[in-house]
Amino acid sequence: MKALCGMLLVVGMLFSIANVTTEGGNVTELFLNTTQNSSYWDGFYGDVVLGAGFVYTEWVTGNNISLLNIDAQDPPCTYSSISMRVVAANASPIALVLPLAAGDLSILDLMILDCENGSSTFTATSSFALTYGTYNNVPSLYTLANGTPSPYFREGYLNDANNNLVFVADVVDDRPNWNGTTSDYQIMLPNNGSAMQYWLWVDVLYTCVTPPGPGHKDHELFIFPIGTYEVVTGGSFDAEATVRNRGDYTEDNVLVFVDDCPAGFSCGSLLIPKIKEGEEEDVLLQITAGAIGQYVLTVCAENEDADYCREFILNVLPECETDDDCGEDEYCEGGICEPKKEEGEECESDAECLSGVCSGGVCVPCETDGDCADDEVCTDGYCEKVECPCGVVENHVCVPYECCEDSDCKVDEFCISHFCVEKEIELLLIDGTRVEGDTGFFQVLNNKGEEVGGADVFTDDEGTVSDENGYASLAFPYGGIVYAYAEGYGQIAKLYDIIKLGFINVEGEFAVVGKETIIRIADSRGNPIAGATVIIEGESLISDGNGEVRYVFETPGPKEIRAHKMGYLINDGEITVGLVPPVEEEVCRFPVLLNWIEIPITGLPTLWLIAIVLGIFNFLTFGRRIKGDLLEKLLKEKKHDYEGVLKSKRREQYIASIVYSFAPVVLAVPNIAIFSICFMLNIVVLQAIGEIILVIKSIGERKL
């Protein structure tokens, strides 16, 4: 009973199809046993073709049987005999440690429990010949075909030197297998209760043909290994085959074709007109794939005298696995991308319909609002736009805006971007250098971007009114703040980063060689500009916190002074440096206290001339005046001898006239500050004015 349990693991199954991916992307067909489960064993079967020879990797998880066609290494010579065995190990071929030995069943028994263990499965022994050597007493079994043990499908169990598991299965030629079809091998592989990885390849034993003796001639064609191809169902590809003439004759009219092309496939052929002995020809056979699956195709080359066939593996992959693998207007069904269905056609899923909605087995435009665009609703199975004149449609519902026009808001508000916002104005600088005192060209706009005419635009120094387009011009102020006011909006202040004016000032009225000169940098308000770079005679100085630099000039003459600082426009300055301080030029002022007239002292000779002339005038008029006064006095006193009296008083009159008229001029001669000619000239002028007044008065009295 235990042996029967082990064999049924592979052969007692019904048809259930799945897919498995092998190394290199090969897709194999799985047939799962639904009548008797085996969580410790998987089965593999398929055809073996001679080609490049590949190593395949498979995972054994239990309860699976997979179709796996294997590409074996073609012998490098013409062989007289060949035998092959499928080898499966839980280590790669290069990781096996020789020598191999007959399998130790106790290792399998520790892995697998109950009737599925190694002792219950491998109940026979036999010998296996491999390229690694010949091994006797190998635990063996025969898997089933058509419900009974098949003498063709023998399997053995071995271990390498590290006790890795090694299983071998005979390769036969198209024998009836477990599911009623034919295959070249069947093999069972166990796991240890969880998924195990196996490496599968074909071990090939062959005997090369001894070359024929002299004079022996044959017709012989040969096809080199073709390799494995993959193509999606319905796709086309070119199978490349190389046909060689290994015979001793020129072969004519060699037909290359695919023998027994599978149903649903399209297989091309090609006629080679001539192949000389020892030469070869490459041919391309166009093949269009049919149903999904793994196929062994046979390419043959033949003419009337020779023929040769070569098998190769073709994996026909599904065009798609999910709907995402297909185009926008297609869906995936049975591995093929099918066109999506129109409204009213029968369906099984939403993905089958162009509308994306399958309801009651029929494609319809919509069933719920969610089947429509976000701005639509489902009405009687059709999507219709949501009416929303002043709002936005979100999730199939009209969400109204706060406003759509100004009339929806308060009087002092605008409707902007569908929100009621307070009316505001903005002052934009259209043109201008932003230099203090230069004219700036401004525009007043409201927060809707409209021009505001009649707005007051002003600074602390001046103001103007914007025109009908909101434009206004005025000078940039010292502080950089420009104000704007419009009725209904309120007042705003805009601070502009302006360039202030700067000036260079020299302390005192002159500079002298060798003496320290203080140079001050200040703005238009007299505020010091600290940190300014001042350039004098090629030397750079930095102004201190008072805006000052100190410099000693070594040579006389005009000197240019330049200064600059970020944010300031400082005018250049010039100073004349002298050897000694200049003498201050004196000025005579008339009258001396009122300063109505100023006469420079540089005109000193003129001042003396004026003083002398006026002194003579005063002498003459004063002498006549005092003589007349004395005569008038004598007449009033009735002095009869008035002429004698006048003669006796003449000297006194003369001396008095000289002292009165010329004393100021004489006092100015020593050039003492308080008695300078400038001051004394004031006295002389006042005397002359007084004399003129008295003369005029005397003349008036005589007329009366």
pLDDT at 24 over 50: no
What is Dmax (Cα atoms) for the chain?
204
pLDDT at 50 over 90: yes
So what's the pLDDT on residue 645?
Answer: 60
Least reliable range by pLDDT among 32-46, 91-105, 174-188, 245-259: 32-46
Least reliable range by pLDDT among 196-210, 503-517, 613-627: 613-627
- Rounded Cα distance between 481 and 495, Å, is 4
Mean pLDDT of the chain: 85
Q: 633 falls in which pLDDT band (50, 70, 90)?
A: low
- Rounded Cα distance between 66 and 55, Å, is 16
Residue-wise pLDDT tens digits, 180-189: 999 999 999 9
Report the predicted TM-score, pTM, of the whole model to 2 decimal places: 0.51
Q: Which residue has 């002995």 as its token pair? A: 277
Domains, in order of start, for the chain: 2-208 (no CATH), 221-317 (2.60.40.2310), 415-489 (2.60.40), 500-578 (2.60.40.10), 588-703 (no CATH)
So what's the pLDDT on residue 29?
Answer: 38
Taking only Cα atoms into account, the Rg of the chain, rounded to an integer number of angstroms, comes to: 64
pLDDT at 119 over 90: yes
Residue-by-residue DSSP string for 529-588: -TT-EEEETTEEEE--TTSEEEEE--S-EEEEEEEE-TTEEEPPEEEEEESSPPPPPPEE
Q: Which residue has 């049919």 as its token pair? A: 290
So what's the pLDDT on residue 627?
Answer: 65
Residue-wise pLDDT tens digits, 255-283: 999 999 999 999 999 999 999 999 999 99
Give the pLDDT mean for 250-254. 95
pLDDT at 199 over 90: yes
So what's the pLDDT on residue 1?
Answer: 30
Q: 581 falls in which pLDDT band (50, 70, 90)?
A: low
Strand partners, 540: 535
pLDDT at 30 over 60: no
Residue-wise pLDDT tens digits, 533-562: 999 999 999 999 999 999 999 899 898 999
Residue-wise pLDDT tens digits, 371-415: 888 999 988 778 889 999 899 999 999 999 999 999 999 988 999
Give the pLDDT mean for 94-122. 92
So what's the pLDDT on residue 616?
Answer: 83
